[in-house]
Structure 1
Amino acid sequence: MSAVIVVHGGAWAIPNGLAKASVDGVKVAACDGFSVLQRGGSALDAVEAAVRGLEDNTVFDAGHGAVLNADGEVELDAIIMDGRTLASGAVSSVKNIANPVSLARAVMEKTAHVMLTSRGANLFAESIGMATVPTDTLVTENEMKEWRKNITFSCHSRAHDTVGAVAVDSAGNVACATSTGGIRNKMVGRVGDSPIIGSGGYADNFIGAVSCTGHGESILKVTLARLILSLVEQGKSLADSSQLSLKYMGDRVLGAGGAIVVSPSGQWAATFTTERMAWAAVDHDGLWYGLEPNERRKEQLSQ
């Protein structure tokens, strides 16, 4: 069984000034996740490691680099799911946590629940000794400027910066993780698709694993992650399943987005209907990456 990991850095109109940093960021995260797989780590370990790296990168809107809501606060969402058992953990509207994907994993492994939200999620983080960080360490200077500039106009100019990862390990187990800071100037308490099982992500060893990105409300309406896997179950390829599902979302609710998918056999796809999506994948052939539609570049991994 060939181990594979695919990551994305959000499907949106990535400006030229962020393009290189976005691609570089997903390439590093994919390599970090693949190194976990090479050391014998599980798909679950790999997607957590990759997403943590993206949460620590201020280019993306997850953890560090998060956007601010209408009250100038950071509210973070994340999900992680184990395809072997269908166990899942999620957090929403959580504050002052640098790596919400790890808090989501703790919800999965240390509670009887799937999702904790807002104050409850933060109380749980405190109870397990997870460190909190000041809000200003999660917000870049540029985000503060953009928030002040756009708050009057309710402009969501960096709306689709969600990050995610999917992986299959050498045992054929799949996993997914998705993390986001949401959309700038969102209403307090707004939750998009990212932490919702079947929408922002889904993983099942019998089918595959998906992480989604794009317009959260649209993704929620069509339960995009599960929709993609339902087409895979019907025998369609990963790429066709993703393209058909994204087209359906566009036709039905006028939403754009993207998705990364892996199968238990090691096949993978990265598909989007937005202007750009930063993505990278590492498999036995090397490192693959792209930003523009139909772009699929390849690099050899250094030994």
Structure 2
Amino acid sequence: MNASSQLPASGYCRNGIVGVYWLFSTAMEPVIVVHGGAWAIPDSLTEASIAGVKAAAQKGLSVLKSGLSALDAVEVAVRSLEDDPAFDAGYGAVLNMDGEVELDAIIMDGKTLAAGAVSSVRNITHPVTLARAVMEKTDHIMLTDRGASRFADTVGITPVPINTLVTENERREWEHYKKYAVGVKELFNSQWGHDTVGAVALDCYGNLACATSTGGIQNKMVGRVGDTPIIGSGGYADNQNGAVSCTGHGESIMKVTLARLILFHMEQGNVSREATDASLAYMGERVQGGGGAIVITPSGDWAARFTTKRMPWAVARGESLFYGLNPGDMFEEQLPK
């Protein structure tokens, strides 16, 4: 089910200023993996979802090929998904019980284990960028709600009017949902639920990073925070083991600390695919939670696995782009020269 790859790691870095490729015997081939959320994606959204993850992966790989870091690449890729109304992150995020957007995000550097996160932000276009600012410009890991917005002002991230991030489609779905007495977990498994986006990357210097961003589950309680901004749940990155970005039912993911659980299995010698499958199976059996994850190892092996109906994903490396949506998908196309 789903997809994974074990390809040899070799490659190059390019100096983005002078435009020269520097070859090193120890250089890694840059790789980026992105996902657009594991849930029951309706047919009406499949084309846009696939296009969105493919575009995000290509943008991330371009950053990596220019010689920038894995951290830069995952931020750029997730920003692309936050701008895309096909996904539940940034513009187009689902609405809470009060009909408002509340956004969560995390970013983590596998080299230093530095991390930054934000939760319940309502007026920030790119929560992943604000999370990175928390990581780099404060002594904290997570800021929330008005404190995160106040901090954004101090670092030059301009807030937008709250309703700016609410799309007409999400407003219609929210109005439609109010007619039904359905819990958020049931909603997650329906065609009304949306879910998280994320990216993991390996740069040519051998460093890993992850980033995850979400609007949560439709009609959630005001102030509800899911797994996304929680280290070890929504994401984790460690150069020694791998990088993971998770997606799915947030409360279930938090109960098993899914990202860290996957890396634990990898530490025991399991390959990324087996480690992810074992962890998702445990979450399903132990707390009846569905979801998915993307994983990358220090050698460049990757996996995109899920237990929900669908999960759009894409991988960019070298001159190739791999992508899928349904269980068992593995499509490949050549990247533009």
Scaled to the shorter chain, the TM-score interval is: over 0.9
Q: Which residue, out of 91, 96, 110, partners 1:64?
A: 91
Q: Deviations over 1:13-63 (max 9, x none)?
A: 000000010000000000000000000010000000000000000100100
Distance 2:86 2:92 in 1: 6
Alignment of 1:133-152 (within 5 A): 133-152=160-179
Question: Unaligned regions of 5+ residues in structure 2, if any?
Answer: 1-27
1:216 match: 250
2:9 match: none
Q: Shift of residue 149 of structure 1?
A: 1.4
Distance 1:171 1:121 in 2: 32
Amino acid at match of 1:83: G
Q: Deviations over 1:51-95 (max 9, x none)?
A: 000000010010000111101111100000000000000000011
1:159 match: 193
2:82 match: 55
Q: Which residue, out of 27, 52, 58, partners 1:25?
A: 52
Distance 2:229 2:290 in 1: 18
Q: Shift of residue 133 of structure 1?
A: 1.2
2:159 match: 132
Aligned residues: 303
1:269 match: 303
2:270 match: 236
Q: Are 1:258 and 2:292 an aligned pair?
A: yes
Q: Shift of residue 105 of structure 1?
A: 0.1
Q: Which residue, out of 168, 179, 196, partners 2:230?
A: 196
Q: Shift of residue 285 of structure 1?
A: 5.4
Amino acid at match of 2:110: G
Q: Shift of residue 154 of structure 1?
A: 4.8
Contact 2:100 2:166 in 1 (8 A): no
Distance 1:162 1:208 in 2: 20
Distance 1:151 1:204 in 2: 42
Distance 1:42 1:129 in 2: 22
Q: Specify the SS of the correspondent of 1:271.
A: strand
Q: Specify the SS of the correspondent of 1:90.
A: strand
Q: Are 1:177 and 2:211 an aligned pair?
A: yes
Distance 1:301 1:62 in 2: 26
2:68 match: 41
Q: Percent identity?
A: 67
Q: Specify the SS of the correspondent of 1:54.
A: helix
Question: Unaligned regions of 5+ residues in structure 1, if any?
Answer: none
Q: Are 1:12 and 2:46 an aligned pair?
A: no
Distance 1:300 1:154 in 2: 47
Amino acid at match of 2:306: F
TM-score (norm 1): 0.98
Q: Which has the larger radius of gyration?
A: 2
2:281 match: 247
Q: Specify the SS of the correspondent of 1:245.
A: helix
Q: Specify the SS of the correspondent of 1:277.
A: coil
Q: CA RMSD in A?
A: 0.9
User: CA separation of 1:193/1:154 partners in 2, compared to 1, >3 Å: closer, same or farther?
Assistant: farther
